[in-house]
Structure 1
Amino acid sequence: MDERTSEAALTLTKFGVGQPVRRTEDPKLVKGEGRYTDDVNRPGQAYAAIVRSREAHGVIRGIDIETAKGMPGVLAVLTAADLKEYGGLKCNVPLKSRDGSPIRYVPRPALAADKVRFVGDPIACVIAETVEQAKDAAEAVAVDIDPLPVVLDPEAASKPGAPLVYDEVPNNVALDFHFGDTAKVDEAFAKAKHVTHLRTSNQRMIIAPMEPRVAIGEFEAGSAKWTLTSCTQGVHGVKTALMDILKIPAEKMRVVTGQVGGSFGMKAPVYPEYVCILHAAKVLGRPVKWTDERSGSFVSDHHGRAQDMNVEIAFDDNAQILAVRLTGYGDMGGYLGAFGPMLPTLNVTKNVVGVYRTPLLEVSAKCVFTNTTQVSAYRGAGRPEGNYYIERALDIAAAELGIDRIELRKRNMIKPRDLPFKAASDMTYDSGDFPAVLKQALEMADYKGFARRKRESKKNGKLRGIGIGCYLEVTAGGGKELGNIRFNDDGTVTIVCGTLDYGQGHATAYAQVLVDQLGIPFDRIRLEEGDSDIVTFGGGSGGSRSIMFASATIVESAQLVIERGKQAASYVLEASAGDIEFKDGSFVIAGTDRSIGLMELAAKLRGGLKLPDGAPASLDVDHTLSNPLPSAFPNGCHIAEVEIDADTFETRVVKYSAVNDLGTVVNPMLVEGQIQGGVVQGLGQVLLEKAVYDNDGQLVSGSFMDYAMPRAHDAPMIEVAHHPVPTKSNPIGAKGCGEAGTSGGLPSVANAVIDALSEYGIRHIEMPMTPSSIWSAIQATQKA
């Protein structure tokens, strides 16, 4: 083995797929050298402030901007009339109602023109020389709103006679979704030996990433080109949406994103403020910056979850599932969010049957407008909700049937011999070993030792419960992805990809894939995702798709690099291209010791090496994943243990075990972090978080004084293990991990709390399971 081969082998050993490589992003970030959007400032920039509605519903009778326009430093005050040349913000979810009619799209104006539809609805945008001046002037804008009746509950909003959010949308129903064969499902329920019923909610959530939304709008008069610098989940998707709104061609729009301080689905779409500042930049001839504040983000960022469902499971006389039926509502808020209608409909449908043999499934869900902030994707986007519904209902069913809850799950679980398995959701599971994952989780959690731990907790005045959350997720599928590879003059290699990192560690994981494919030294690999002038295509990050799509296109691009390299190396080594092999980062003449390293060859080509016509001038590759990938099916079993103080009813998660089948794990350290973060978000929903409106549509939980985010002391030590069964849906066999922790955390923690309370005869309480709600549930049982 020569020195070059040894170096390549060492690189693979330390930095290839499967290694816990530290994130390359971290040194810059921990030293404060990252570039988040608020760190960006342009020469001569002005500042924007938004005037928002204080009414949840009403007709705009007038907007007095004259006082504001005359205040110090004010450059402009925009209203809807100033933006009439632009289109509205759209929801492009291609779903149809059960009668075949299309979803009722109502494009959202950047600034409300005739009516306001929720507290926080943007009405005007003030631009001034300083932030303080813009805020002061925004306070001086007088808006005359004639209040209208408010409707907040989606079920109530869908009834005849309810106040209409849109006059043209009868009963406020944007979509009346239906999936399944009603007759067959009804027949299964009619012959069932037992039917379990559960009415439950996934409450409305404030998404609240560490970094609020920030944006800078610019317009270059000479080229008539707009640039938006903002925190996003994918520059290409935001660019495409803005092209539609501004009615401009692709070459006239650029979107740039630097570091992003979290998103969880919220920063994927275009928001009204971006249209306002882009227009202002054009009118004023200078950059305009807008930075949200937490009070504004609570009402203007889209919210998550907000579903109410009736869950029914029909069982035969052997306690095997005959059919599952879901009927309920998804709260859309005052406007259709970019992905909002998908969550309680298509995504719940795909995920609710989980790892269980379910012959029949019916889902009926109405997506309903209400006078609240719009709802769209939040970590999992229908996946945790679906898994929560089935896992909660199975625990209730086990109690009703008098069967151990583990046994009930085993009895209904899809076995490896059943795969590939066509689920009732119309999804075909290609891989997995669900019983083995459950078995490993039970052993890891020391399930047999729980009774002893429960006795010890009781001695200390605590109720102890254990909860199981088996989950299966259906990741995003379809689409294409960019995967260009550039060999740079400084000896580095850049991957250009259409996803976008907002905390996941893409630069590290993608480099590991490229190391595996080409043997390039890990420390020479760079990643570019954040400039739409460079990233000419890409689906962004969402739906746990990134590693699957990016790795697939990186693998294909790497093969193209090798083919180009063989052709170039054949001239350098004076051999036929057919005799050139690629091994351990080098091109070798088969059967000889004559070779040239890939990086050396790339450097020679950059240095002007003259090759005959038809030979590649460089190893650079422009490539888009040509064959859309199907969904993958990450799955697992999480087991949570909680203690509830018998006096204060405070609940703490004291033990947590998570076994996951995520297929090939590219970087175990990054995956563990993703799982742990998702678990904590699930825990937060179960125990703490809920967005609450009063009867007038005012957001009562409008700050962190009123909205309880989980803190470090709320999180237990989370033990993570893997049971990988690689998928065949992508070249490296990865299944995606970004949302799995939430899908396991939500049902396991909820089931643990109810298990602890089961000695009172309690079988269900709604999330969040706070001390007051637990106390109330106990009191209700004692009075019964």
Structure 2
Amino acid sequence: MNSPFDPAQVKFGIGQPVSRKEDPVLLRGEGRYSDDLSLPGQARAVMVRSPYAHGVLRGIDSAEAKGMPGVLAIYTGHDLEGAGLGPMLATVAQKNRDGSDARTPRQPPLTTDRVRYVGDPVAVVVAETVEQARDAAEAVILDIDPLPAVTEAREAAEAPALYDDVPGNLVVDFHYGDAGKVAEAFARAAHVTRVPLRNSRVIVAPMEPRAAIASFEAGEDRYVLRMGSQGVFGMRGNIAKVMGIDPEKLRILTGNVGGSFGMKASVYPEYIALLHAARTLGRPVKWTDERSGSFLSDSHGRDHDMTGELALDAEGHFLAVRISGHSNLGAYLSNATTLPSTGNTVKNVVGVYRTPLVEVATRCMVTNTTPVGAYRGAGRPEGNYYMERLIDTAAREMGIDRVELRRRNQIQPDQIPYKTPAGTTYDSGDFPAILDEALAAADWDGFAARRAESRRNGKLRGRGIGHYLEVTAPPSKEMGGIRFEPDGSVTIITGTLDYGQGHASPFAQVLVDRLGVPFEKINLLQGDSDQLIAGGGTGGSRSIMASGQSIAGASALVIEKGRQLAGHFLEASAEDIEFSGGRFTIAGTDRGIGIMELAERLRTAGDLPDDLPRTLDVSHAEQYEDSAFPNGCHVAEVEIDPDTGETEVVRYVMVNDFGVIVNPLLVEGQAHGGIVQGIGQALTELTAYDSEGQILTGSFMDYGLPRAVHAPLFEFRSHPVPARTNTLGAKGCGEAGCAGSLPAVMNAVVDALSEVGIHHIDMPATPTKIWQAIQAQGGGAAA
């Protein structure tokens, strides 16, 4: 539609590596995060949390605390219940294998009867200053009768029940697949591979801990909550349900957000307590979590204890895959708690392979640990990890080269569209070409020389493949508003929300491509629920597809309006008006008007005919129906020092199919970040609890976040095959790094350890765990 010869559109159009528009502001320290905000007359809040993982709450003695300097109020769960707030009920879409509904535990905003994990919020103290609130919180006395705690999902069925209405601590006994057909496939298989697969728990640890300011506008009978989130429209609706109010009675405002990865998408108890305090006190109330509290109260990620099984015929063709085990949900549920280990595992475990049958059986258990929520990928890295570890193990057991085994089972391009046993249909992709390109880029054939050199240096060297496919962009409705401002700028309004990804530039590039609007004049509005008519938030690697498609749809409506208005100003029929390169022209002539000039003319125009629009502005929402399937192949090489167990990722190559890439610079950055998170989970991040439910890794002194030294130099390549499921042809990239790196790194670690007879190790493969495994094999003399 637009001229390919417009220099501005070429520079800032789709496919160009444009820098992030917001970076200059952030680099100058001028970002506005939740804790940067303050309101006149605000009070400060501090949470009182349970020091026990499990116990009966007999009473709360706050008499001394209430009399301390500066204390304005102390609220408990009974206060909030008395005000009609709560409970917080998560929706569990999955049903039990017998068709019955899942059990949904009741979570009050502040617990009233029983504490269920260390950090469970019991009360909130509000004072004039945060120091006064903190002192008073320490003076609140909790009368708790301790109960035995359980921290592992596999042990939860035999542990004391956390809830009277959740017997056996089982929330949902999930099952997918035809168990009879799968059993038959395993019975006739020439070979069955079985591997225990622990998907270890991780602490999210975003750069910015959670913070919020609540206020109440009495004249409008309306709440305002300023907070970090992943989408203000959905957050407004979810909080309104807990508050028992119409969504219009609540405004959510989100500025800059310093990371989330799924964690800030949920409603937390603190937000409800703050809103209640703001209304009761008649003044704003601010709360900022400390890092120690964040380790306890922010939802954790992963934590699945599974067994993977792969059935193969004599030639190594896959007959069926079966994943079964337990999922640790923590003490309470979020809206996405059960999804990673159930539906998303089903959709992603098949990956790029012809696998006729799939069965997933997961017992989702509550335990006395911090609640688990969605974490980067939310089941997609898990599914790929399970399959790729099974393939490497099967290859070793059957004496088939691991690359050859993958090739024998890859879905071929001429088989696409390909319907999987998970109910998904792949619309595009060239999986064999991506594998070949990744192996060539990684110098797969030259590995033997590198391994020999490592041996001479006393090191174990291994290589691993992560040939992944993700199901991204779940169906949802998204806004794509466009507003021409009085100052000559243009504002995109959408309901996805950038919490570090850098949406402003790629969204602007879509608008440049569709409307020819000057890139430097484009703004992005995403964090004000009052401005939205729809919004699914950011998650599931959906933003460029959902918002991009809605922006493209809104642009088409702008063009239609512009054709009518340009026809009026150019004294021509709207049917004779063409649009290209940001300009409306009369067909067959050079007479025309630019879109920005047209917007300016409208601001100063007098009366227009009644049948013409008064503005180019569009408020548009579009239902996004079809998922996309980004895929790729990551190849990692590691060196292990057998004397210390230290692992170094020494080479890393990736080839990805993200479909049409709007901004290659940002996409590569997203891939790097996801890979390092995967490396962290694979090698360093251990979330540990003791037998009483006390977290042992509750600070950065104890918890092994990956550091710069753990990040290798990456070689990034693209092999795009445009998606057919959305207007832009994009596939999403935000979580693919984890999906490729978990299997690639862990397969490389196991390959290195195979030199000393070790053929499996669970995440995280920490130096201690590796060293102990080597010692158990005789100290690594074979190295």
Short-chain TM bin:
over 0.9
- 5+ unaligned residues in a row in structure 2: which ranges? none
Among candidates 45, 50, 71, match of residue 47 of structure 2? 50
Counterpart Cα distance in 1 of 2:580 and 2:175:
53
Amino acid at match of 2:758: I
Counterpart Cα distance in 2 of 1:149 and 1:648:
37
Match of residue 70 from structure 2: 73
Write the mapping of 1:49-448 to structure 2, written as runs, cut at 5 A.
49-84=46-81, 85-159=84-158, 162-448=159-445
User: What CA deviation, in whole Å up to 9, does each residue of 1:568-624 have, x standing for no partner?
Assistant: 011111111111000111001100111100110011012234321110111000100
Among candidates 685, 689, 698, match of residue 689 of structure 1? 685
Amino acid at match of 1:200: L
User: What CA deviation, in whole Å up to 9, does each residue of 1:674-706 have, x standing for no partner?
Assistant: 000000000000100011000000000010111
Match of residue 28 from structure 2: 31
Match of residue 767 from structure 1: 763
Distance apart, 1:168 and its partner CA: 1.1
Q: CA RMSD in A?
A: 1.2
3-state DSSP of counterpart to 2:429 = coil
Does the 8 Å contact 1:177/1:365 carry over to 2? yes
Counterpart Cα distance in 2 of 1:336 and 1:31:
39
Match of residue 704 from structure 1: 700
Among candidates 547, 556, 570, match of residue 544 of structure 2? 547
Counterpart Cα distance in 2 of 1:629 and 1:651:
43
Does the 8 Å contact 1:196/1:393 carry over to 2? yes
Stretch moving more, 451-460 or 707-716: 451-460
Distance apart, 1:18 and its partner CA: 0.2
Amino acid at match of 1:703: S
Counterpart Cα distance in 2 of 1:609 and 1:330:
65
Among candidates 576, 591, 596, match of residue 599 of structure 1? 596
Counterpart Cα distance in 1 of 2:701 and 2:107:
31
Write the mapping of 1:748-767 to structure 2, written as runs, cut at 5 A.
748-767=744-763
Counterpart Cα distance in 1 of 2:520 and 2:668:
23
Counterpart Cα distance in 1 of 2:255 and 2:554:
25
Distance apart, 1:5 and its partner CA: 7.5
Does the 8 Å contact 2:642/2:774 carry over to 1? no
User: What is the TM-score normalised by the length of structure 2?
Assistant: 0.98
Counterpart Cα distance in 2 of 1:227 and 1:540:
19
User: What CA deviation, in whole Å up to 9, does each residue of 1:291-334 have, x standing for no partner?
Assistant: 00110000100000000111000001110000001111110111
Amino acid at match of 1:121: D
Indicate whether 1:19 and 2:16 are aligned: yes
Counterpart Cα distance in 2 of 1:609 and 1:453:
76
Distance apart, 1:476 and its partner CA: 2.8
Distance apart, 1:116 and its partner CA: 0.4
Amino acid at match of 2:185: A
Counterpart Cα distance in 1 of 2:775 and 2:421:
40
For these two proteins, the number of residue pairs brought into alignment is 777
Match of residue 671 from structure 1: 667
Counterpart Cα distance in 1 of 2:635 and 2:603:
55
Does the 8 Å contact 2:460/2:755 carry over to 1? no
Indicate whether 1:661 and 2:657 are aligned: yes
Counterpart Cα distance in 1 of 2:89 and 2:445:
53
Match of residue 726 from structure 1: 722
3-state DSSP of counterpart to 2:589 = coil
Does the 8 Å contact 2:639/2:648 carry over to 1? yes
Counterpart Cα distance in 2 of 1:581 and 1:474:
39
User: What CA deviation, in whole Å up to 9, does each residue of 1:478-499 have, x standing for no partner?
Assistant: 1110011000000000000000
Amino acid at match of 2:477: K
Amino acid at match of 1:631: S
User: What CA deviation, in whole Å up to 9, does each residue of 1:741-770 have, x standing for no partner?
Assistant: 010011000011111111112110011111
3-state DSSP of counterpart to 1:158 = helix
Counterpart Cα distance in 1 of 2:334 and 2:148:
22
Counterpart Cα distance in 2 of 1:26 and 1:462:
41
3-state DSSP of counterpart to 2:633 = strand
Amino acid at match of 1:448: D
Write the mapping of 1:432-511 to structure 2, written as runs, cut at 5 A.
432-511=429-508
Counterpart Cα distance in 2 of 1:107 and 1:557:
41
Distance apart, 1:645 and its partner CA: 1.4
User: What is the TM-score normalised by the length of structure 1?
Assistant: 0.98
- 5+ unaligned residues in a row in structure 1: which ranges? none
Distance apart, 1:405 and its partner CA: 0.4
3-state DSSP of counterpart to 2:777 = helix
Amino acid at match of 1:178: H
Indicate whether 1:564 and 2:558 are aligned: no
Distance apart, 1:101 and its partner CA: 1.1
Does the 8 Å contact 2:229/2:235 carry over to 1? yes
Q: Cα distance 1:598–1:783, how it changes in 2: closer, same or farther (>3 A)?
A: closer
Does the 8 Å contact 2:645/2:771 carry over to 1? yes
Amino acid at match of 1:93: V
Does the 8 Å contact 1:549/1:629 carry over to 2? no
3-state DSSP of counterpart to 2:329 = strand
3-state DSSP of counterpart to 1:481 = strand
Counterpart Cα distance in 1 of 2:148 and 2:459:
47
Counterpart Cα distance in 1 of 2:493 and 2:31:
19
Distance apart, 1:103 and its partner CA: 1.4
Counterpart Cα distance in 1 of 2:659 and 2:467:
16
Counterpart Cα distance in 2 of 1:434 and 1:610:
59
Counterpart Cα distance in 2 of 1:154 and 1:31:
46
Does the 8 Å contact 1:15/1:515 carry over to 2? yes
Counterpart Cα distance in 2 of 1:207 and 1:764:
26
Distance apart, 1:715 and its partner CA: 0.5
Distance apart, 1:783 and its partner CA: 8.9
Match of residue 747 from structure 1: 743
Counterpart Cα distance in 1 of 2:154 and 2:148:
16
Stretch moving more, 672-681 or 459-468: 459-468
3-state DSSP of counterpart to 2:778 = helix
Distance apart, 1:778 and its partner CA: 1.6
Write the mapping of 1:643-654 to structure 2, written as runs, cut at 5 A.
643-654=639-650
Does the 8 Å contact 2:497/2:527 carry over to 1? yes
Does the 8 Å contact 2:583/2:595 carry over to 1? yes
Distance apart, 1:338 and its partner CA: 2.2
Match of residue 535 from structure 2: 538
Does the 8 Å contact 1:265/1:378 carry over to 2? yes
Indicate whether 1:41 and 2:28 are aligned: no
